[in-house]
């Protein structure tokens, strides 16, 4: 099978971790008889440096003319001074919008080998952490109208949060379909005691739930959910929520698993083409030092094989190689514990490839 993958190595540690993921994909191609054609583009901070904009039109077009996109990370303090309309993160928003990627799936699963690395009490971790956050990705406050103006002698800023019934309905279906393949439980997170958008969100969720009698639906306020994630994460199976709440809760959820460097994510729309990336940032403080953890990006590549290319066996092979590497006691610095062997980014890639072969 031949697949064209647009690669955005990005900023900071992005080039290092994506390179390891591409090495893993090359082994998969060799082992299973596939061909992966890579087309690398500039986006984010490096594109600003080269072209003055975070996403050149040519780069965006290559995202639209491919089977899926593999991303490292974009942004960093170097570009903090750039005007908001040209910030590195604008590249991601533009890609998601243009590709119609309205659903972001972020698993929060603790590897048994990393149980000691979780900041939660061992008794809580022992109950199990294995849930997925389904985040609406191209609506809400991040895409709403905004303005900053002077009123009565002081600056006033306004950001508008808007959701339509259809935007809510389509992300609800993603959540319920995901739950059907997992534990059959959806918890919808909102702020319905305050926000009109959340009251509409809750109404539509209940309407969609009627089409999924084998899946249970519960509602939870976002502040309570933030507490419950650290108090009793075992209660969650599928969490579905709007854009900003999902952004915050998914980062919180990633930290209880032991390391943010281990977690992949996928962004999908109505078709099979998606954008796959680790959930962490560009970590410029360790860039170029061979210290980054490539596992989140490698597992993102595995998600791409599964969800976009229908290569379940190949995806499972990568996951098994990662598990075996952890079983052997190899760690990068972010998830290091006593008695383990510390590896750099390249060496971790080497070990996973060795186990994959």
Active site residues per annotation: 142, 191, 223, 247, 251
3-state secondary structure of 69: strand
List the Cα angle 325/327/330 in 5-degree steps.
Answer: 55
> Where would I find the H helices in 142-292?
165-180, 196-209, 222-231, 243-255
Residue 313, token pair as written in the block:
């066996």
Residue 184, token pair as written in the block:
């059959």
Q: Find, among 24, 21, 30, the residue nearest to 70 by Cα.
A: 21
Q: Find, among 236, 259, 99, the residue nearest to 175 by Cα.
A: 236
Residue 315, token pair as written in the block:
């995806």
CA–CA separation, 88 and 77 (whole Å) = 10
Residue 280, token pair as written in the block:
């962490």
Mode of pairing for the β-strands spanning 274-278 and 264-268: antiparallel
275 alpha carbon, distance to own chain's centre: 9
CA–CA separation, 283 and 293 (whole Å) = 11
CA–CA separation, 200 and 194 (whole Å) = 12
User: Residue 264 region, left (φ>0) first, then alpha (ψ -120 to 50), else beta?
Assistant: beta
């Amino acid at each position: 099978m031949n697949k064209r993958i647009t690669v955005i190595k990005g900023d900071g540690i992005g080039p290092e971790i994506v390179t390891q993921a591409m090495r893993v994909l090359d082994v998969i191609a060799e082992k299973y008889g596939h061909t992966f054609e890579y087309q690398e583009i500039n986006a984010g901070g490096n594109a600003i440096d080269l072209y003055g904009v975070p996403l050149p039109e040519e780069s965006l077009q290559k995202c639209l003319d491919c089977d899926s996109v593999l991303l490292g990370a974009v942004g960093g303090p170097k570009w903090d001074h750039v005007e908001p309309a040209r910030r590195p993160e604008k590249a991601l928003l533009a890609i998601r919008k243009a590709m119609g990627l309205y659903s972001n799936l972020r698993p929060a699963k603790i590897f048994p080998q990393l149980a000691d690395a979780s900041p939660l009490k061992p008794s809580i971790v022992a109950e199990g952490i294995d849930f997925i956050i389904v985040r609406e990705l191209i609506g809400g406050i991040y895409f709403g109208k905004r303005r900053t103006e002077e009123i009565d002698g002081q600056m006033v800023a306004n950001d508008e949060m808007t959701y339509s019934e259809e935007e809510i309905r389509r992300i609800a279906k993603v959540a319920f379909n995901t739950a059907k393949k997992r534990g059959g439980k959806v918890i919808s997170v909102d702020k319905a005691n305050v926000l009109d958008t959340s009251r509409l969100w809750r109404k539509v969720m209940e309407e969609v739930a009627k089409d999924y009698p084998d899946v249970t639906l519960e509602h939870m306020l976002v502040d309570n959910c933030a507490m419950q994630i650290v108090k009793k994460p075992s209660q969650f199976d599928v969490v579905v929520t709007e854009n900003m709440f999902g952004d915050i809760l998914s980062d919180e959820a990633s930290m209880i698993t032991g390391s943010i460097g281990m977690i992949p994510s996928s962004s999908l729309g109505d078709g099979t083409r998606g954008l796959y990336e680790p959930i962490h940032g560009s970590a410029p403080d360790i860039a170029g030092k061979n210290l980054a953890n490539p596992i989140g990006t490698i597992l993102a590549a595995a998600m791409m094989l599964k969800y976009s290319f229908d290569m379940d066996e190949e995806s499972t092979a990568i996951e098994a190689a990662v598990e075996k590497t952890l079983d052997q006691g190899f760690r990068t610095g972010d998830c290091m514990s006593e008695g383990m062997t510390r590896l750099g980014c390249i060496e971790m890639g080497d070990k996973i490839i060795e186990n994959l072969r």
